[in-house]
Structure 1
């Protein structure tokens, strides 16, 4: 069963889909899991794939578009704002906890890539979230940001790009956009990236292939590693040395004092975690076991 749903976050309407286990009947109540994806994505990309898998494993799985993306509201479009996404996750958890299909107090969050930092941060402050799992997590602090984006000079240059885009918006009332992904346009945020440039994978009609460069200051300042010390919810990480930022994933895991577990898969790239059968199945098996233990 796949139901379109809406709920509110900071006065904006968010649109999502609630997937229920096969054969679900109205007299049942099952644990709920909200699923979130990589930066600049919509619910129909990797989140929906994982939501289907979690529903098959007996969970009520919620995917949704964050503010400014996909079908959801929000005045600013295509801008990756970590604080807003964290707030949206908390709103989604509160909404899911009120659904009649969901067992009381049994809500978890599964975050992929960039949203790993968002779900862990949300869980630090949301009583509705009782357990967290992350897959191919992108955890960053200032040291990681410097390493990824060209050191102090590179980070400063990107910050300037973001500030210029914000100035354009303030002066004209129009957001400037660049391609989110491209194989030919070097202005693209993810130039040459797989998944997002492949029609049979992430390059789908529901996804708007644009990014507002004004996101850079908020993104560069977001520290997803600090949440590890404040996370007091059972935690699972699924990662591979061949994916993005494996060392940061290890650092986050080492700092978590709550109940925790990890699964490391061999030779799985970041994008393969999004939609390749074997790693997706392995990750969802591990997540299902984790949530059954703690929800």
Structure 2
């Protein structure tokens, strides 16, 4: 693995590039962009999958989203799904400049909210020839409907009112307000998946100093109008693999995308697994049992 930087407009993006054993710069390789979850960074689950895919013979790139991690972008901790789509475009741009990357065999893997950005990017980024998701989340639908898909319109409007008030306050010079991605460890009022997310992000299991569990409150305005899977029925024609746990509260996202996607598709269900089980450990190994043959077949 080596640390790299690549341009995204005026910003410099920070990535980790993984090379397979026996790498030969005179050859060309199938290559996979790995996109991290919301609030995550490249050193966490995205880096784990990038490393494992490199062990299977692929060149892989995990990178920090703009405004987050070690990548540039102001304001810090902005989470705008459409900017994340642009990040993926720039990552593909960068990969095409590497002489050992076969530009006709570039794939993408998105994890959690990273899958939503990856799916959206792939609809218009035709250089992505195959894509897979792990514990997929449509960040737009989750913003509008809540984690379990049952939130009310009134709660969404309340959030947008709070965003409006905060933007007015910041325009007058007030300090930014931040909200957490995941609840505190031990918060039993949160959905099971999010309780497990706290265990991952806020304990040594997956904790990283560049992922401080905060985003700008005003980010909620961007997520609320982002339609992640819109036009998948016409534009998402590349081979698609969705990997999800049968016990995941987020399973409905993968099921919805599977129903809509226009191209060849497969829904691989991991029996008994929750959303966070697939981030590391045996759950990620079970996901790799599907990812490796899929990318070897499609790239």
Aligned to 1:153: 154
Aligned to 1:79: 78
Deviation, structure 1 residue 16: 0.5
**Cα gap change, 1:27/1:174 in structure 2, threshold over 3 Å: closer, same or farther?**
same
How do 1:113-152 and structure 2 match up within 5 A?
Answer: 113-139=112-138, 145-146=144-145, 148=149, 150-152=151-153
Comparing 284-293 and 101-110, the one that deviates more:
284-293
SS where residue 91 of structure 2 aligns? helix
How do 1:210-225 and structure 2 match up within 5 A?
Answer: 210-225=214-229
Is 2:237 the counterpart of 1:232? yes
Aligned to 1:285: 289
Deviation, structure 1 residue 132: 0.6
**Deviation digits for residues 180-225 of structure 1, max 9, x if unmatched?**
4452798x9x975321221222x22232332211111111211222
Distance 2:218 2:137 in 1: 20
Aligned to 2:43: 44
Is 2:53 the counterpart of 1:58? no
TM-score normalised by structure 2 residue count: 0.89
Are the counterparts in 1 of residues 116 and 137 from structure 2 also a CA contact under 8 Å? yes
Distance 1:6 1:152 in 2: 41
Are the counterparts in 1 of residues 140 and 223 from structure 2 also a CA contact under 8 Å? no
SS where residue 179 of structure 2 aligns? coil
Are the counterparts in 1 of residues 250 and 275 from structure 2 also a CA contact under 8 Å? no
Deviation, structure 1 residue 4: 1.1
Comparing 143-152 and 113-122, the one that deviates more:
143-152
Gaps of 5+ in 2: none
Aligned to 2:67: 68
Aligned to 1:167: 168
Distance 1:8 1:25 in 2: 25
Distance 2:110 2:249 in 1: 15
Are the counterparts in 1 of residues 185 and 202 from structure 2 also a CA contact under 8 Å? no
- What RMSD, in angstroms, separates the aligned Cα atoms of the two structures? 2.3
Distance 1:144 1:216 in 2: 7
Distance 1:179 1:143 in 2: 15
Are the counterparts in 2 of residues 136 and 244 from structure 1 also a CA contact under 8 Å? no
Are the counterparts in 2 of residues 232 and 258 from structure 1 also a CA contact under 8 Å? yes
**Cα gap change, 1:84/1:267 in structure 2, threshold over 3 Å: closer, same or farther?**
same
SS where residue 22 of structure 1 aligns? coil
SS where residue 118 of structure 2 aligns? helix
Aligned to 2:7: 8
Deviation, structure 1 residue 174: 4.0
**Cα gap change, 1:142/1:283 in structure 2, threshold over 3 Å: closer, same or farther?**
closer
**Cα gap change, 1:10/1:164 in structure 2, threshold over 3 Å: closer, same or farther?**
farther
Distance 1:69 1:143 in 2: 20
Distance 2:99 2:221 in 1: 40
Distance 1:227 1:39 in 2: 22
SS where residue 128 of structure 2 aligns? coil
Distance 1:209 1:143 in 2: 17
Aligned to 1:261: 266
Gaps of 5+ in 1: none
Comparing 27-36 and 170-179, the one that deviates more:
170-179
> Which stretches of structure 1, 4 residues or more, deviate above 4 A after TM superposition?
140-144
Distance 1:178 1:228 in 2: 31
